[in-house]
Structure 1
Amino acid sequence: MEINFTIEGSPVGKARPRVTRTVTYTPKKTSQYEDLVRYTAINSFDGCFYNDEPVDVKIVAYFPVPKSWSKKRKALCLANKELPTKMPDADNIGKIIMDGMNPKRKLNKQLKKMVEVIRGLYKDDRQVTKLLVVKRYAERPRVEVRVKRDTGDYNE
């Protein structure tokens, strides 16, 4: 089973949680992007990886070429001769995509435990045993994600 989906728009990295005296919370931009990832992933496929099977994830983040750059430099970017070394970091892109594919949970005060509000693509991102995050330039900014069962082959 293999799932492919695309999140349109510029890639977003996972921001650090914010801490106040009374509460720790996720920044709004991060939680909104995770919801977009979850919505896109669920609507692209009916099933999910809920039986604790190992998962292989490939993420390709396409950034827009800066408008201020010359035509020559833009051509180099689009030919993958010049690669994006700007923010967000590849690990933060991977974190936000993988957390977005988790189920959304909220605290149920009557039950005093976390309950699933919206299902995810898998039970938890602990199931991810192989992860590849690639950053590239493109005319159309987007993030392409491929999720499949990990067969254990390292060279695959």
Structure 2
Amino acid sequence: MSDLKPVSFFVPGEPVGKGRPRAVGRKRRDKSSGQLVGYTAHITPIKTENYEKTVAAAGAQAMQGRPVIAGPVMVEMKIVVTAAASWSKKKRAAALAGDVLPTKKPDIDNVEKALFDAMNGVVWIDDVQVVNVSKSKRFGATPGVTVRVVPLVGECS
């Protein structure tokens, strides 16, 4: 039986949503004919790549050398963003108290995508194993994401 202990970790810094890949036209020389052939490459934004590396490093540290989770999992995410510096002290205090909720970017689902993609091959085999998700986004003094992955009893289909 696999290890059913939850894996918890904190990803420090302002959360980053998964950026859309950019399509870039490229040319290469065909090996057989020697002619130039055009193709499209999809480039992941640098900000997304760097954030996913940070998430993967935090996840790997939390795994403490144990093998990746092979069965179904439940994920809990608590996303914390900072209030805008331009806000008044009163509004910032209200945000920290939970009276003002963060309805600006990054989108909660795009942060989830970045986290899940970064955890592939590090915490679990693939994010298709996620069968239950609980997520929240709030203002706080220390930005970051607290992640808890709970292995569930059961088989993957």
Pair in the same fold by TM > 0.5: yes
Matching residue of 1:149: 151
TM-score, structure 1 length as denominator?
A: 0.81
> What percent identity do the matched residue pairs reach?
39
**Which segments of 5 or more consecutive residues in structure 2 lack a partner in the other structure?**
26-39
Segments ≥4 residues shifted beyond 4 Å: none
Say which of 61, 77, 81 aligns to 1:43: 61
Q: How many residues are aligned here?
A: 135
Larger radius of gyration: 2
Say which of 103, 111, 124 aligns to 1:85: 103
- 2:75 is aligned with 1:64: no
SS of alignment partner, residue 81 of structure 2: strand
Find the aligned partners of 1:81 and 1:48 in 2 and give their Cα distance: 41
User: Shift in Å at residue 91 of structure 1?
Assistant: 0.5
The answer to whether the 8 A contact 1:130-1:150 is kept is no
Find the aligned partners of 1:26 and 1:132 in 2 and give their Cα distance: 27
TM-score, structure 2 length as denominator?
A: 0.80
The answer to whether the 8 A contact 1:91-1:133 is kept is no
Q: How large is the Cα RMSD of the aligned pairs?
A: 1.5
SS of alignment partner, residue 20 of structure 1: strand
